[in-house]
Amino acid sequence: MTKNKKLLAWVAEVEKMCTPDRVVWCDGSKAEYDRLMAEMVASGAAIKLNEEKRPNSFAFNSDPSDVARVENRTYIASVNKEDAGPTNNWIDPVELKKTMTELYAGCMKGRTMYVIPFSMGPIGSPIAKNAIEITDSPYVVCNMHIMTRVSTEVLRLIEKTDEFIPCLHSVGAPLEPGQKDVRWPCAPLEKKYIAHFTDENLIWSYGSGYGGNALLGKKCLALRIASNMARKEGWMAEHMLILRFTNPEGKQFHIAAAFPSACGKTNLAMLQSTVPGWKVETIGDDIAWMKPGPDGRLYAINPEAGFFGVAPGTAAYSNPMALAACAKDAIFTNVVVTPDLDVWWEDMGVKCEGGTDWKNNPWTPDMKDAEGKKIKGAHPNSRFTARAANCPVICPDWEDPAGVPIDIFVFGGKRTAVMPLVHEAFNFEHGVYMGATASSEATAASLDQAALRFDPFAMTPFIGYHAGDYLQHWFDMGDLLGDKAPRCFYVNWFRKTDDGKWLWPGFGENSRVLKWMCDRVEGKVGARETAIGLMPREGDLTLEGLNIPAADWAELMKVDKELFKSTLADAEKYLAAFGDKLPVRMKEQLEALKKRLG
């Protein structure tokens, strides 16, 4: 336990409100993890997988009403409504606390209240933060063991600093005496709340046991609360992967990249380089916390200790390293469990004769619904929770408390036309514009005529304050870093021909584009100036061994000014929603691009 009076008082307050049958302080040990998993297997909540095929791994099936983040039940409860901005659901904090306090009253009856001390980032790192999650879900405790650093060392640090971020979670399903528990307890949708009290750095979550709704270290703390803390304290909390790219001479480059969903973020984080002599190592696949170091450069840590990855589509051809990371010591949620007690999901690249589906019902691949559509065995948002240490390409320095120095920022989106394969910003301020206007097509379209979905820095659901102030913070960080700011690039792996064929092979071949970026940082190659930014000169981006016809390459790198004007108009319309909080420098970048496009 602890001697910290503030922490003890908070735990006592929650215990009085939620009335659990007992309170357990977690220590993060293997014995604790094994005990909780054994209890969940015995109760029927967990399925123990085949020890030979999938050592120390377990599968869970959630309630069909509790399968993903619930954005419409996720709130920013700042004192001033204006601080939440146009990208967040705002609720008055006094009103929300009243509503949630009523829900929390007696909500843990019949259950155990777990107190989880955890660190986001290597314990004791100057970039890390200490936190406590209180939960009544053993599933959450086990996932937090993998996703964060759960340790009594965190309690000792809290005793020294008297600082921690309080996170309260309940599945919202009290048990009466003698009442049998269900496999996946949760509350109905209208009673689910994921609340961020940003003025207090406080998180309250009620009613959901799934993913980021319940693992409060993930999006709630690592992005929504942390982004607001970072703005006040002069650092950055971003929805970015971090990788190390090392050239044949041993020179290391560190890259942080932000992509909206379905744009290959995890694949890039664990890339298998096809450039001879160049090697990729993973530091993080989802979140980067970055702080200026003593030398004035920006240093990044991965605040997480594991991967919470989407299972469908993860295969040997797309991401063998992610597949290897969940070969043991993993938790699977809402996948197919095969008769020999292994796991399977759609687009895994292996054959499956059947098993039990994500609803725990018998399933075979040929099953169809009433409309004749194939019934999927795994839920589209089914997940694996895997230890980062089990990834074969994890970087040896991924837990360095000092972090790694970021050389390059990469932004991107999914565009089948208009956006070229790669271009570089003229300067950091132009790079902020590129990241702020990152967009993907809302629907599949061969000529990019679909509506665009803008997602600044892939942070739309995760900015814990006004998005206009968030963009200003990016400019402020650029001012702080000066000539030591990372170089900024924009990529688009998804360009197609008019008849729908991919123009770029993607996957491991994306390393060729990263090499060009590193060569630019080192001054080894030049660039040609275009209206939208700096682009590779003929021959500077190596295509040796690729079968890309000259016409396709020309299309991949084409900048059609007229089509860009329509994208610019869409961006201007989108940014208008930020009102008078839109930074002046964003307006200046818009005007400068207009002039360059003519």
Residues with active-site annotation: 263
Residue 195 and residue 169 in contact, taking contact as beta carbons nearer than 8 Å:
no
| Helix, strand, coil abundance in the chain, percent, nearest 5 | 30, 20, 45
- Calpha distance 440→177 (Å, rounded): 52
To the nearest 10°, the Cα dihedral for 576, 463, 78, 121?
A: -160
Q: How far apart are CA 69 and CA 472, in angstroms?
A: 28
Beta-sheet strands, E only, within 338-451: 343-344, 355-356, 362-363, 383-387, 404-405, 408-412, 422-424, 439-441
Question: What letter would DSSP give residue 224?
Answer: I
Q: Measure the CA angle with vertex 257, ends 518 and 521; round to 5°.
A: 20
Q: C-alpha 131: how far from its chain's center?
A: 19
Question: Phi, psi (5° rounding) for residue 13?
Answer: -65, -45
- CA separation, residue 505 to residues 26, 269, 348, 358, 471 (Å): 47, 17, 19, 32, 33
CA distance 510 to 493: 8
First to last CA, the chain: 66
The closest of 438, 424, 492, 440 to 467, measured between CA atoms, is 438
Q: Are 165 and 198 in contact (CB under 8 A)?
A: no
Could you tell me where the DSSP H helices lie in 326-409?
none
Please tell me whether residue 219 adopts helix, strand or coil conformation: helix
Helix (H) or strand (E) holding 194: strand 193-197
How is residue 169 written in tokens? 């979670």
State the DSSP string of 420-461: -SEEE-SSHHHHHHHHHT-EEESS--SSS-SPEEE-GGG-TT
